[in-house]
Each structure stands twice: as structure tokens, then as C-alpha cells.
Amino acid sequence: MKSFFILALTTLLIEGTIYQASAQNQPSPIEQPVTHPILPKINRPLSPLERRILRESLDQMNVEAQAQLNAGNEPEAFNIWYKELALRRYLGPNEEIPALGRVGAIAWNKDRTDDVRSFTERINTLQLDTETKGQLTPETLPIYAQAYQELHSLDDSLDIYQKMLANARQSGDQVVVEELLNKIGELHLSRFDYPNAAPVYEELLDIVQARSDSLKEGVYLQKLAEIYREMLQPGNSLKYKEELVENYLKNQRVQELPNLKISIGEDYEALKQPERASQSYQEAYSLAWSLLQFGTAGEALNKLAKLYENSQQYDLALQIYQELIKVQQRGYDYYGLMGTYDQMGEIYLIQKNLPLALDSFQKGLELARAISYKEEYFSNKIAQVNQQINLPK
């Protein structure tokens, strides 16, 4: 009996291996033989009329496939598309590749990973063949780039865009250079590849600064500040944010300065420069208050209070929290007010000032009851403080 089970298991493993190998050797549906009435019986190029008739027929197939997809018949839709794509080969790579990208984008959205892989491999094959024949011209490169992007094949897209960039640099076409650098930068950012994105945007910044384009300068300064923030390099991030302040002033974008100043303060904190962080938060508060941006003004004061609190300058922190209460009352920020009273209560506890701690938590409870939030938390805090007050001296 034991030998029978071993034999059966061995047979299943062998059959499974044979089936797997057979499946792997199966040609992709895109490479299956296809027929069409317009295709010549002998091996010769299609005439212009035949090409036009075939193209119109394939365009109609695409319409039929889309109709099947819209009707919920996905398998039939892709069967039609596979036949269309196989026939597109007779029109040449310049028509086959965009079609592969078009259908590939649909396959990607439908999570048909095998189809996406099949289309990508087909384009890879066409690219290799074209390169081998020396026919990968500046005119054909954008066709490959677009298709690879639609298939979300980022490495292939970057490879093509780098080739296009080299051509544009060689021809001295600065407009195209800038366009391609933007596309390359966006692709790096889409995969969170910040180290490779940074030099791209630094070059773009140099380009626009050389022609005094202050609007685009602001865009790239902001990009670089964000990139270096993600790379946890506050020093580099700060450098671009300081330049961005000047850019906003030059372009009269004062509304954006308060948030930027808060961000600069955060960088100074990360760099262990609390005095400069404090200055930035104060500037952010003053600007935001004058611009009636009460939410931002409150955020700046909260950052400033936390800065003093972290350095154990509790009296200064309490002064800032008192100012923050005024801002939050002006902006009807009840949740914020509740949090501020909570923070003040905690500081008073550290200072052993139990009456003021109790007062702060009671004010927090009043707000908590008004908005039905964290009532139990503040009740427990009040009970704890009362317990300490009532301890025998």
C-alpha cells in the first residue's frame, strides 16, 4: 500500500511538471496565427489600399471589444483585442505598439497581470529588433515611451526617456529637454525614488532660474523641498524653503507664507536649532493672524508652545497656550480649545499647581460635554486632581 501511494504521488508530480512546462511553452495569444480576408495569400507587403482596409477593420474590432467590456463580458472583449493586436503586426510597429499600450492600460486597470506582462514582453521584443536594425529613431522613441507608461513599465519608460533626453541635449532643443526632465522626474517620484528625482529637479531649477522664470522656479523649489524632506535631509529641505520664501514674496503669494514658515520651523527643530525654530513659528503666527488664517495661526502657536514645553520652559509655554486660546475662540475651534486646556492642565500638574490644573481640566470637560467627546477622560483627570488636593498635608 505504501509503495502504491509513493507511485501515485510521483506520477502526480511528473504530470504537474509536464503540464507546467507545457503551459510555459504555450505561445502568448498575441502570437497565435490569425487570418483576415484582406491578408495576401503570398508573403508580400500590403498595398496602401489593403493597409487602409485592414486598419478600418481593426478599429471596428476595437469598438466591438470595448462594447463587450462595457456589457460585462470581459473574456470575450480580450479575445477580440488579442485578435486585433495580432493583426496589427501587419501594419508595422508604429501602429502595433500604440495598440499594445491602449489595450495594456485596460488590462492594468482590470488587474490582468498576465496580459500586461505579455504586452510588455512583445514591446520589448519589438524594441530589441528595432535597435538591432538601427531603426530606433528619435521619431519612434515617443511611441515606445507612451506604451510603456500605459503598461506601467517604469524601468522601460525611463530607459526610453533617457534616450530621448540624450537626443534632445545633442540637438540643443532646450524646450524638449525641459519637458523630458519633467517626465523623468515624475516617474522617479511615482516610485518614491527621491535620490534619483532630486538631481532632475535641481537641473530643472537651474534651467528656469537662468531664464528668470520665477513662477516655474517656485514649482521646482517646492518639489525639491518636499523631496529632501522625504529623504530626511532637513538642511537641504530648509535651503530650498528659504529660497521659496523669497520667491513667494516676489510673486506676491503671501497667502502661502504662513504654512511655509511653519514648515521652516519644523526643519530648524529637526536641526536642533530651537531659537530659529521659535522665530519661524512666531513669524508664521503673525502672518497668519494678519491674513485671518486662524487655523494656521493656531497651528503656529501650538508648535511654538510645544517647542517651549519640550525644553521645559513651562511658563513660556503657558503664555503661548493662553494666546492660542484666543485664536481658537476666534476660529470656533472647540476641539482645539479642549486640547489646549488639556495641555495646560498637564503643565500645571508638572508645576504642582493643582488649583490651576483643576481649572484647566474643568474647562476642558465643559467643552467635552458640549461636543460629546472625551467626557470620561476629563472626568477622570478632575477626579485624579481632586484626589491629590484632598491628600493629607
Q: What is the pLDDT along the chain (393 residues), one digit of tens a residue?
A: 444 444 344 444 434 443 343 434 556 777 777 777 778 777 888 889 989 999 999 999 999 999 999 999 999 999 999 999 999 999 999 999 999 999 999 999 999 999 999 999 999 999 999 999 888 899 999 999 999 999 999 999 999 999 999 999 999 999 999 999 999 999 999 999 999 999 999 999 999 999 999 999 999 999 999 999 999 999 999 999 999 999 999 999 999 999 999 999 999 999 999 999 999 999 999 999 999 999 999 999 999 999 999 999 999 999 999 999 999 999 999 999 999 999 999 999 999 999 999 999 999 999 999 999 999 999 999 999 999 988 776
Place of cell 491602449: 102
CA-closest candidate to residue 183, choices 167, 197, 168: 197
Does residue 162 belong to any structural domain of this protein? no
pLDDT score, position 23: 39
Burial class (CB in 10 A: 0-12, 13-18, 19+), 230: middle
What are the grid coordinates assigned to 33, written together?
A: 496565427
Within a 10 A sphere around the Cβ of 83, how many other Cβ atoms?
Answer: 19
Does residue 248 belong to any structural domain of this protein? yes
Place of cell 513662477: 215
Place of cell 532630486: 198
Q: How far is CA 21 from CA 15, 17, 24, 31, 381, in A?
A: 10, 6, 5, 18, 69
Return the exposure string of 337-374: e unless at least 16 CB atoms fall within 10 Å of the residue's CB, then b: bbbbbbbbbbbbbeeebeebbbbbbebbbebbeeeeeb
What are the grid coordinates assigned to 18, written together?
A: 509536464
371's CB contacts (< 8 A; 6+ apart) are 334, 335, 338
203: amino acid identity, one letter: E
Within a 10 A sphere around the Cβ of 177, how many other Cβ atoms?
Answer: 19
What are the grid coordinates assigned to 162, written together?
A: 533617457
Does residue 243 belong to any structural domain of this protein? yes
| Contact assessment for residue 58 and residue 88, using Cβ atoms and an 8 Å cutoff | yes
Does residue 335 belong to any structural domain of this protein? no
Does residue 282 belong to any structural domain of this protein? no
39's CB contacts (< 8 A; 6+ apart) are 46, 54, 90
| Contact assessment for residue 354 and residue 390, using Cβ atoms and an 8 Å cutoff | no
Place of cell 511615482: 190
Q: Which domain holds residue 231?
A: 192-252
Does residue 232 belong to any structural domain of this protein? yes
213: amino acid identity, one letter: D
| Contact assessment for residue 136 and residue 130, using Cβ atoms and an 8 Å cutoff | yes
Within a 10 A sphere around the Cβ of 388, how many other Cβ atoms?
Answer: 13
Cα end-to-end distance, the chain, whole Å: 87
Within a 10 A sphere around the Cβ of 254, how many other Cβ atoms?
Answer: 12
Does residue 206 belong to any structural domain of this protein? yes
Does residue 214 belong to any structural domain of this protein? yes
pLDDT score, position 31: 74
What ranges in the chain are assigned the alpha helix state H?
2-25, 48-70, 74-88, 93-109, 113-132, 141-150, 154-171, 174-190, 194-210, 214-230, 234-250, 257-270, 274-290, 294-310, 314-330, 334-350, 354-371, 375-389
Q: How many domains does the chain have?
A: 1
Cα(259)–Cα(281) distance, rounded to whole angstroms? 10
